[in-house]
Amino acid sequence: MNNITLKNLDQVAKVFLSSFLVTMLIGVFTGLGYIYFTTNMNPSGTIEHYNGSEILDDEIPLEYPKPLEGMILTTHAHVNSFALISLAIGFIFYFNSITSSKLKLFIMIEPFLSTIITFLSLWLLRYVNENFVYLVMVSSFIMYLFWIAMILICLYELNCKKNQS
């Protein structure tokens, strides 16, 4: 049984973990900003980012189709870094006393599943059918939502819940 909880940590640990979680939250929102900047967070912008712009009358397209090498690099970098982000946030979240064990496990595992689904669907979007854009958008939304929820729950417990020594 887990005897360590975030609310019972000493002040040094609480400040350290809170600092990390706030930094992660800034990173998550920066990532969302990047997605907005590159895709406008809409299906047509996402499709254009990966499949390239429609070429009209021999104009130079605004976006070129993402090449295979770019797809591999994007997938490699993001799947690995998202796995580490999920691990770090999930490890801290494990020690919260707010969520029950089954719910806690689901919340901790879900970002890993969404990461796999998101990047698999990006490949399907790029090479199979543009309609996979909706799976990309839903799975990435869920992943970001769970990261933010885990961070906020942990920050709440670290900074607002009373120590039960």
Is the distance from CB of 95 to CB of 4 less than 8 angstroms?
A: yes
Domain of 103, in residue numbers: 6-160
Q: Look at residue 121 and tell me if it is in a domain.
A: yes
Query: What pLDDT is attached to residue 161?
Result: 80
- The pLDDT assigned to 59 comes to 74
In whole angstroms, what is the distance from residue 135 CA to residue 114 CA?
Answer: 10
Return the higher-pLDDT residue of 46 and 55. 46
> What does the alpha-carbon distance between residue 29 and residue 85 come to, in Å, rounded to a whole number?
13
The answer to whether residue 19 is domain-embedded is: yes
pLDDT(22) > 60:
yes
State how far the Cα of 57 lies from the Cα of 154, in Å rounded to an integer. Answer: 54
Residue 1 lies in a domain: no
Tally of domains in the chain:
1
Instruction: List pLDDT tens digits, range 75-129.
Output: 999 999 999 999 999 999 999 999 999 999 999 999 999 999 999 999 999 999 9
* Nearest-angstrom CA–CA distance, 3 and 7: 11
